[in-house]
């Protein structure tokens, strides 16, 4: 299987950089980073204006190595005929060698933040070299004022300044980049604050990196591992998913959750609940009964979407959790667990909880932000379950294991009922015998892709908001797309 895509914290990157500095001459890593940054900027200039020579680029230069990266990139761009102006936000601490080289190459330098906006007016692109992975907190006033006036695309060096490198948190003024050029390794910010980063370009600089504690599954690997029928399979061997969802008030939740389990694999789905007639009207292939006791043999359970929180629902959840089967708990099921966590704590069979931020708060008593990775890891360890924390960047954690992240690339799945669909897909993968951690992450990848495909499936091809029903309808297409990558 293809290796997961790793994300490394600032501390992990600094350790790798320290090791690199023992192997290469001083200045080599910065030159590699700067050359890669300049290459991306030149490509952007060509794409936007058809050429490189004669174009204008402004550098926003802070102190330290990130400012040095921007200055040395400016040197390379000057040699290719680009007019370069460097705005020094902290002149006394500007990178000495990079600044001298830019001046020798004919670059202009502005050390007055008051006139900086006028100096960069007319630039085709701006490079953000204000702060790097050591930066914390929002932009300082001078930098914030300048960034607020920029009306051309910004290319960020390593990360958008003002955004936390490890958590993606934004607590004040910050850069919003069209492209982020990261050096040596991807950082958590690139997934957790993808809307601030734009397109991510990785420039290798020779780092030797450990196994990441945060990673994203490779889409081709998701496709390759997706369960499909083999020559000896039948409907039972592929996994039988049990779904207990919906109610007289919310029959649609049952339809969405059950339909997702049907769409996700080729086995069998058994539904138990009060929405049996609504489910059968949409999916006659489902075996539907009113009483869970009559559901028959299943290999996983999904509980909670639209199920209600009355005593009857609580008893059904307790019965399901008392089995030795994998269980996915979502929505109303999570509300029940918030009141009675002992129902799931200590459970030995695989258990996946799928909260959004509000449900996470009810379950743990704390907000998942600002450090969502630490929060979801702590929750999984404390409750000894697999936790999928929903969001544009969905996180999946299991005790003692690497956290997996799925950056959706958009927020098309932020619609009522979409979580019901996700739960059904996860439940089907568990019934097929998949490990809960990668299964939940793979389901999130398919779910996000289905939402994107549904958004694009509109007259004229322009993306448009979608609801859960077209998202569900595009689950098979999303699976097919990922399987094609693995072919």
320 is in an annotated binding site: no
Q: What is the 3-state secondary structure (H, E, C) of the chain?
A: CCCCEEECCHHHHHHHHHHHHCCCCCCHHHHHHHHHHHHHHHHHHHHHHCCCCCCEEEEEECCHHHHHHHHHHHHHHHHCCCEEEEEECCHHHCCHHHHHHHHHCCCEEECCCCCHHHHHCCCCEEEEECCCCCCCCCCCHHHHHHHHHCCCCEEEECCCCCECCCCCCECCCCCCCCEEEEECCCCCHHHHCHHHHCEEEEECCCCCCCCCCEEECCHHHHHHHCCCCCCCCCCCCCCEEEEECCCCCCHHHHHHHHHHHHHHCCCEEEEECCCHHHHHHHCCCCEEECCHHHCCCCCEEEECCCCCCCHHHHHHHHHHHCCCCCEEECCHHHHHHHHCHHHCCCCCCCEEECCCHHHHHHHHCCCCCCCHHHHHHHHHHHHCCEEEECCCEEEEECCCCCEEEEECCCCCCCCCCHHHHHHHHHHHHHHCCCCHHHHHHHHHHHHHHHHHHHHHCCHHHCCCCCCHHHHHHCHHHHHHHHHHHHC
Q: What six digits make up the tokens of 332?
A: 């109303």
**68 carries a ligand binding annotation:** yes
Residue 253 is labelled as binding a ligand: yes
> Binding residue per annotation — 332?
no
Q: How many Å apart are CA 435 and CA 204, to the nearest integer? A: 32
Q: Check the annotation: does 330 bind a ligand.
A: no
- Annotation-wise, does 419 bind a ligand? yes
Residue pointed to by tokens 């058809």: 50
Is 108 annotated as belonging to a binding site?
no
Is 435 marked within a binding site? Answer: no
The answer to whether 258 is a known ligand-binding residue is: no
First to last CA, the chain: 13
Distance CA 89, CA 92 (A): 9
Q: Does 50 count as an annotated binding residue?
A: no
416 alpha carbon, distance to own chain's centre: 20
Phi then psi for residue 453, to 5 deg, are -65, -40
Annotated ligand binding at 151? The verdict is: no
Annotated ligand binding at 306? The verdict is: yes
Residue carrying the six token digits 């910004």: 154
In Å, what is the CA distance from 365 to each residue of 359, 369, 392?
A: 10, 12, 22
Residue 215, annotated as binding a ligand: no
Q: Is position 104 annotated in a ligand binding site?
A: no
36 is in an annotated binding site: no
**Is 401 labeled as ligand-binding?**
no
Q: Is 166 annotated as a binding residue?
A: no
Q: Is 135 annotated as a binding residue?
A: yes
Query: Would you say 452 is a known binding-site residue?
Result: no
324 labelled as ligand-binding? no
**74 annotated to a ligand binding site:** no
Side-chain-facing half-sphere of 166: CA atoms under 13 Å:
16
Residues tagged in the binding site annotation for (6S)-NADPHX: 65-69, 132-138, 158, 253, 306, 356, 420
Residues tagged in the binding site annotation for K(+): 66, 128, 161
Residues tagged in the binding site annotation for AMP: 390-394, 419
Residues tagged in the binding site annotation: 65-69, 128, 132-138, 158, 161, 253, 306, 356, 390-394, 419-420
């Amino acid at each position: 299987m293809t290796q997961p895509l790793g994300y490394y914290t600032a501390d992990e990157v600094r350790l790798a950089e320290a090791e690199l500095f023992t192997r290469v001459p001083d200045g080599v890593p910065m030159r590699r980073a700067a050359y890669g940054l300049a290459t991306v900027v030149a490509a952007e200039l060509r794409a936007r204006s058809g050429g490189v020579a004669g174009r204008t680029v402004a550098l926003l230069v802070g102190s330290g190595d990130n400012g040095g990266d921007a200055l040395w990139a400016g040197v390379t761009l000057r040699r290719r005929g680009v007019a370069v102006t460097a705005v020094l936000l902290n002149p006394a601490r500007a990178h000495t060698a990079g600044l001298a080289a830019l001046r020798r190459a004919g670059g202009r330098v502005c050390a007055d933040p008051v006139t900086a906006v006028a100096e960069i007016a007319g630039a085709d692109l701006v490079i953000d070299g204000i702060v790097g992975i050591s930066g914390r907190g929002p932009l300082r006033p001078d930098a914030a004022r300048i960034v607020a006036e920029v009306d051309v695309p910004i290319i960020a060096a390593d990360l958008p300044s003002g955004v936390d490198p490890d958590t993606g948190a934004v607590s004040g003024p910050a850069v919003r980049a069209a492209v982020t050029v990261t050096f040596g390794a991807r950082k958590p910010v690139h997934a957790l604050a993808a809307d601030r980063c734009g397109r991510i370009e990785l420039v290798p600089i020779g780092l030797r990196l450990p196994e990441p504690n945060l990673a994203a599954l490779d889409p081709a690997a998701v496709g390759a591992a997706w369960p499909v029928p083999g020559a000896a399979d039948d409907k039972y061997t592929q996994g039988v998913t049990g779904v207990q969802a919906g109610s007289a008030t919310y029959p649609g939740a049952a339809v969405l959750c059950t339909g997702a389990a049907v769409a996700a694999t080729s086995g069998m789905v058994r539904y138990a609940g009060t929405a049996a007639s609504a489910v059968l009207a949409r999916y006659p292939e489902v075996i539907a009964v009113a009483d869970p006791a009559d559901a028959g043999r299943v290999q996983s359970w999904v509980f909670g979407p639209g199920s209600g929180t009355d005593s009857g629902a609580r008893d059904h959840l307790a019965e399901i959790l008392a089995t030795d089967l994998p269980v996915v708990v979502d929505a109303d099921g999570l509300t029940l667990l918030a009141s009675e966590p002992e129902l799931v704590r200590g459970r030995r069979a695989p258990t996946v909880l799928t909260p959004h931020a509000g449900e996470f708060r009810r379950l743990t008593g704390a907000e998942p932000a600002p450090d969502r990775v630490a929060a979801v890891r702590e929750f999984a360890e404390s409750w000894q379950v697999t936790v999928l924390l929903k969001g544009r960047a969905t996180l999946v954690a299991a005790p003692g294991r690497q956290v997996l992240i799925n950056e959706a690339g958009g927020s098309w799945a932020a619609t009522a009922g979409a979580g019901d669909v996700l739960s059904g897909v996860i439940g089907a993968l568990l019934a097929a015998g998949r490990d809960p951690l990668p299964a939940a992450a793979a389901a999130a990848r398919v779910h996000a892709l289905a939402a994107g495909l549904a958004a694009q499936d509109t007259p004229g091809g322009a993306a448009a908001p979608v609801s859960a029903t077209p998202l569900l309808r595009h689950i098979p297409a999303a699976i097919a797309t990922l399987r094609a990558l693995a072919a």
